[in-house]
Structure 1
């Protein structure tokens, strides 16, 4: 059996991006748009992490 680490988790990144987007959007008067932008950014980064981990 190969000595391989476990898969990386992207859920934390999605959660942090949603919270950050909501806070930043709230400061600019658009919390809903901030939430959606944070969600989109979090999903993109998580998919990138998943693809990089899958290639290993």
Structure 2
């Protein structure tokens, strides 16, 4: 088990959740909530992976 000092302080899950909400809201305005949700998922997942990769260094 890793010690608390080695734990990453970054939180990619927050970025993912916010991007899902923003994508859904934009999709609702455009009349395509499912497409907005999926776009938010893709963007949020990409940002979360970048944060995770940066934290591994």
Instruction: With the length of structure 2 as denominator, give the TM-score of the two structures.
Output: 0.85
* In structure 1, C-alpha distance between the alignment counterparts of 2:34 and 2:16, rounded to whole Å: 16
- Unpaired runs of 5+ residues, structure 2, are none
* In structure 2, C-alpha distance between the alignment counterparts of 1:5 and 1:41, rounded to whole Å: 27
Give aligned pairs, total: 52
* In structure 2, C-alpha distance between the alignment counterparts of 1:21 and 1:9, rounded to whole Å: 19
Partner of 1:52: 54
Two-structure CA RMSD over aligned residues (Å): 1.2
Moved over 6 A (4+): none
Partner of 1:19: 21
- Unpaired runs of 5+ residues, structure 1, are none
Aligned-residue offset at 1:5? 7.0
